[in-house]
Amino acid sequence: MSNEQKKYIFNIKLKKLLVLFTQIFILILILFLWQYLSDKKIINSFITSSPLKIIKTINNLYMQNNLFNHIFITLKECIISFILTTIISFIIAVIMLYNNFIAKVIEPYLIVLNSLPKVALGPIIIIWIGANQKAIIVMALLISLIVSIQNLYNGFISTDKLKIKLLKTFNASSFDILINVIIPSNKENIYSTLKINLSMCLIGIIMGEFLTSKAGIGHLILYGSQVFNLDLVMSGIFILTIISILLYLIINTIKKAL
Amino acid sequence: MNLTNILNVNNLSKTYHSKNGEIIAVNNVSFNVNKEEFVGIIGPSGCGKSSILNIISNLDTKYKGRINVNKNIKIAYMLQEDALFPWLTILENVLLGLKIKKQLTKENKDYTIMLLKKYGLYEFRKIRTLAVKPDILLLDEPFSALDYQTRLKVSDDVYKIIKEEHKTALMVTHDISEAISMCDRIVVLSKRPSIIKKIYDINLENKSTPILNRESPNFTYYTIKLYGRR
Ligand SMILES: Nc1ncnc2c1ncn2[C@@H]1O[C@H](COP(=O)(O)OP(=O)(O)O)[C@@H](O)[C@H]1O
Ligand SMILES: [Mg+2]
C-alpha cells in the first residue's frame, strides 16, 4: 500500500470516529445539561424529570414492579404483530402482483384505509374484540399492514421485466419467478419494509396499550401520566427507546443472515 | 443434409392492441425450418422479427395462424436484450435455465461447464441457452451489441458452436451480410406490417465458416440481390 493510500484510509477512519464521538458527546451533553438544570431548579424536574430520577425509577420498577414482565409483554405483542404483518402483507402483495384485477380493485381501498387515522378505530376494536391483548395486536396490524402491502407491492411490480421474460423463455412458473427474480431483486425493499413494519408495530402496540392494557410499557406510561408521575412516563419512554434499538439490531442480524 | 422439417410457421399474423390503436406487426408469414439448418430472418427494425420469435417460443400465445413443432423438439430462445442476474455468479447465471427447468443434474452441469470452458465466459448468454440442450435455437440479433471486429469473430464462434453441437438455428438479424455469411436460407421481411418478400436459399461456393464465406465468389451476388429487395 502506498503512503498516500494509507493516509486516505486513515482519513476515512478518522472521520468515522469523529462522527461517532460527536454523537456520543452530544448525548452526554444533553443528559448532563438536563441533570444540571434540574439540580439547579432552573427547570422543574417534577415536569421534566431528570436522568438520575429516571435511573432510580427504573430501579424501583425492577425491584418492586416486575419491570421485565412489562418489557416482555410489550416485546411479545410487538413481535407477534410484526410477524403477522410481514406474512400477511407479503401474501397479499404477491396475490396483487399476479392478479392485476385484484390489484386494481384493492388499490383505492388501500389508499383510503391508509389515510384513515387508525386510532379512530380504537373504540370499535375494543367493542368487537374485547379489552384484551388481541385488541392491541389488531391495532398494530391496522397501522402497519397497509403501508407494508403498498411498499412490497410497489417494489414487486417494478421488478425488471426483462429478467422475468428471460425466465419465461425457460417456461418458468409464477412460483419460479417469485423465488428467482422478484424476491432477490427486492431484497433491499423487503429489508426496508421490515424496518418500517417494526416501528409501525411498536407505534401500534403502544397505542393499543394506551387504549386497553393491564401491563406493558404503554400501560406504565399511561399510568404514569394519569397519576402525574412524570418520572414514570420518562422511564417508560426510555425503555421504549432501548426496545426499539434492540428490535432494530435483530432486523439487522436477520438481514445479514439472508 | 438431412432435410426433416422440424418447425413450420403457417400463416402467422400478430396484431398488438393498445389504447392508442392497433399495430399489425406480422401479416400472414409462413416458412419452414429443417433439422440442422441455419435459417435467418431479416427485415428493417420494428418490422416484427422479435414478435415472430416470441410466438414460436410460446412467450406470446395471442396470435393467428399455426406453429407446428415436431414432437420431442425442444426450443430455446436467446432474447435480443441482455439479462444478467447480478446477485448470481456467472456459472449460476448460465445454469439458470437448467435450474428453472429442474434439470440441474450432474451430467447437465458438467456439460454446461464444458461449454463454458470451450467457448469462454463471454458467450454466457448463448451457453445459457444451449445448456438446456435444445434442438432449435432462436437467436434474436445475437451480435447487435458488438463492434464490427468482435461481431465477425463472435459470429464465427457461434456458428461453430451450433454446427459442432448439431443444433438447428433460427436467427433474426438486420445485417444482410451477416445473414448471408451464416445462413442456409434467409426469410426476407418487408417493413411493417411485415409480409414475406422472398425466401432465399443461400448456396455459397466453398461454404465454410462465416468469415471465410464472405470471401466466397457469389457472396456479392447474394448481397446485391438482398439489398435490392429491401
Ligand atoms: N408489447 C407490445 N405492445 C405493442 N406494440 C408492440 C409490442 N411489442 C412490439 N410492438 C410493436 O410491434 C412492432 C414489431 O416489433 P418487434 O417484433 O419488436 O420488431 P423487430 O424485432 O423486428 O424490431 C413494432 O412496431 C413495435 O412497436
Ligand atoms: Mg427485435
Distance B53 CA to ligand 2 centre (A): 9
CB B123 within 8 A of CB B158: yes
In this prediction, residues B55-82 reach a mean pLDDT of: 92
Q: Is the pLDDT of residue B139 over 70?
A: yes
Shortest distance between the Cα of A118 and any Cα of chain B, in A, equals: 39
How high is the pLDDT of residue A254? 83
Tell me the per-residue pLDDT of B25-53, one tens digit each, with 9 for 90 and over: 999 999 999 999 999 999 988 899 999 99
Q: Which of B49, B141, B130 is nearest to B96 (CA)?
A: B130
Determine which residue's CA is closest to atom 3 belonging to ligand 1.
B16
Q: What is the dihedral of CA B17, B18, B23, B26, to 10 degrees?
A: -40
pLDDT of B208 > 90? The answer is no
Cβ-nearest to B100 among A160, A180, A187: A180
Please report how many Cα atoms fall inside a 13 Å half-sphere around the Cα of residue A116, on the Cβ side: 17
In this model, does residue B229 exceed pLDDT 70? no
- What's residue B124's pLDDT? 86
Closest approach of B104 to chain A, Cα-based (Å) = 13
Residue A214, judged by CB atoms within 10 A of its CB (0-12, 13-18, 19+), counts as: exposed
B22 - beta bridge partners? B17
A56 part of contact set with chain B, CB < 8 Å: no
Q: B46 CB under 6 A from ligand 1?
A: yes
- Kindly indicate whether the domain formed by A57-257 is annotated with CATH number 1.10.3720.10: yes
Confidence label for B196 from pLDDT (cuts 50, 70 and 90): confident
For residue B1, the model assigns a pLDDT of 47
Q: Quick one: pLDDT band at residue B143, thresholds 50, 70, 90?
A: confident
Beta carbon of B16 within 6 Å of any ligand 1 atom: yes
pLDDT of residue B179: 92
Contact (CB<8Å) A165/B79: yes
**Cβ of B48 less than 6 Å from ligand 1:** yes
Give yes or no for residue B2 having a pLDDT over 60.
no
Burial B97-112 (b: 16+ CB within 10 A, else e): bbbbbebeeeebbebb
Q: Under an 8 A CB cutoff, do A167 and B81 touch?
A: no
| pLDDT > 90: percent of chain B | 53
Query: What pLDDT was estimated at residue A219?
Result: 93
Instruction: Tally helices (H) and strands (E) across chain A.
Output: 13, 0
Binary contact (B59, A165; C-beta < 8 A): yes
Q: Where are the domains of chain A?
A: 4-12+14-43, 57-257
Q: Structural domain boundaries of chain B?
A: 5-73+161-229
Query: Which contacts of B173-177 are long-range, i.e. CB under 8 A and separated by 24 or more positions?
Result: B173/B40, B173/B41, B173/B42, B173/B141, B173/B142, B173/B143, B173/B144, B174/B42, B174/B43, B174/B44, B174/B45, B174/B49, B174/B141, B174/B144, B175/B42, B175/B143, B176/B42, B176/B223, B176/B226, B176/B227, B176/B230, B177/B214, B177/B219, B177/B223
Does A181 contact chain B (CB < 8 Å)?
yes
A206-252: per-residue pLDDT in tens? 999 999 888 999 999 999 999 999 999 999 999 999 999 988 898 88
Cross-chain Cβ contact A185/B87 below 8 Å? yes
For the record, the C-alpha cell of B125 comes out as: 448468454
Report how far ligand 2's centroid is from the alpha carbon of B16 (Å).
15
Residues B193-220 have a mean pLDDT of 86
Q: How far is the CA of B109 from the centre of ligand 1 (A)?
A: 35
B81 contacts chain A (CB < 8 A): yes
Specify burial of residue B84 (Cβ count, 10 A radius: 0-12, 13-18, 19+).
Answer: middle
Spatial neighbors of A73 by CB under 8 A, at least 6 apart, are: A133, A215, A216
Q: Give the helix/strand (H/E) hosting B194.
A: none
Q: Cis omega before residue A123 (within 30°)?
A: no
The answer to whether the beta carbons of residues B186 and B42 sit under 8 Å apart is yes
Tell me whether residues A172 and B100 touch, CB distance under 8 A. Answer: yes
B113-126 mean pLDDT? 84
Distance from CA of A16 to the nearest CA of B (A): 29
Nearest CA in chain A to B81: A162
Indicate the CATH number of B5-73+161-229 among 2.40.50.140, 3.30.565.10, 3.40.50.300, 2.30.40.10.
3.40.50.300
pLDDT (0 to 100) of residue B221? 87
Residue B126 and residue B124: Cα distance in Å, rounded?
6
Contacts of A166 in chain B (CB under 8 A): 79, 83, 96
Residues lower than pLDDT 50 in chain A: none
